[in-house]
Amino acid sequence: MNTRFRGVDVREALLFEGPQGWAEFSPFVEYEDAEAATWLQAAIDFAWNEQPAPLRERIPVNATVPAVDAARVAEVLARFDGCRTAKVKVAERGQSLADDITRVHAVREIMGPEGRIRIDANGAWNVDEAEHAIHALAELDLEYAEQPCATVAELAELRYRVKHKGIPIAADESVRKAADPLAVAQAKAADLIVIKAQPLGGIRRALAIVAETGLPAVVSSALDTAVGLSQGAALAASLPELDYDCGLGTASLFADDVADARPVNGSVSAARVTPDAGALDRLEAPADRQAWWLARLERCHHHLRFE
């Protein structure tokens, strides 16, 4: 990766080809098999089954700004061609709210008043911290705050407290990592949801969750390779409504990838990606990591068979 992001310097993924094309199995290495099996279910579905018909050919995407020093913001944004929305990581461990404010200020200065800025805390704040941070950042005209707190109850309380500020609350982990992904809507804890194809078990299941919540959705990625990003793009292409730029431009965070999925003029193609043969050879994992992933694949597949 060009920049360390959420503790990750090198992204590992297992790619395979099925009758419908290539798919990606890439749960983060620390995830237990039970959770990782849902990612495998999504990959198998994408490789073997016909997907819902696309409603659009290109997907508008946001730039993603890791928790970098403000002096590096321009360097990061320059990698996202034509993007007029930026998601800024905040609440990084070891950093302060002052660091967040300075970073978001730098993004606003570069993007100008017409640029859209959303922040993502990955559930790291408690309710009081989140309320204080949103008040401090409100003058920068935030599009929304993503997963500012960890639990559905905290999100609901925060949403009530900051409603007068007019800053929507988005739920990510409270949807994709929850036993009940509909709970956040039932509790009126969010104004919109962030969905990801792999963690939710595939495109059809993600579409069903959006339909059942009745909330606007933003399609995002989990630092996928170009293959995984194409599954996310297929999900975004099949949503009945797409009101927000999607978090599918993260190929620009990589120094190398199996294909070029970087945004062009602020959008990415919804077409399926076939990895470049030379890139597959160049990025092939060492033998010990291949063995680790194949063993994980077998365990997760066994888990699916006996669910």
Q: Looking at the chain, which runs of residues are DSSP E strands?
A: 14-18, 21-25, 58-60, 63-65, 85-89, 116-120, 142-146, 169-171, 192-195, 217-219, 267-269
Q: Is 120 annotated as a binding residue?
A: yes
DSSP conformation letters of 207-231: HHHHHHHT--EEEB-SS--HHHHHH
One-letter identity of residue 252: S
Pair of tokens at residue 19: 């009758």
The residue with tokens 């559905």 is: 152
* CA–CA separation, 170 and 160 (whole Å): 13
Terminal Cα distance for the chain, rounded? 35
One-letter identity of residue 296: R
Q: Is 146 annotated as a binding residue?
A: yes
**Active site (catalytic) residues:** 89, 196
CB 26 within 8 A of CB 225: yes
Q: Is 9 annotated as a binding residue?
A: no
Residues linked to residue 194 through DSSP beta bridges, in sequence order: 218
* CA–CA separation, 227 and 13 (whole Å): 10
Angle at 42 between CA 36 and CA 43, to 5 degrees: 90
CB 86 within 8 A of CB 116: yes
* CA–CA separation, 91 and 125 (whole Å): 7
One-letter identity of residue 120: D
Q: What are phi and psi of 125, to 5 degrees?
A: -95, 150
Task: Show binding-site residues.
Answer: 120, 146, 172
Task: Show binding-site residues for Mg(2+).
Answer: 120, 146, 172
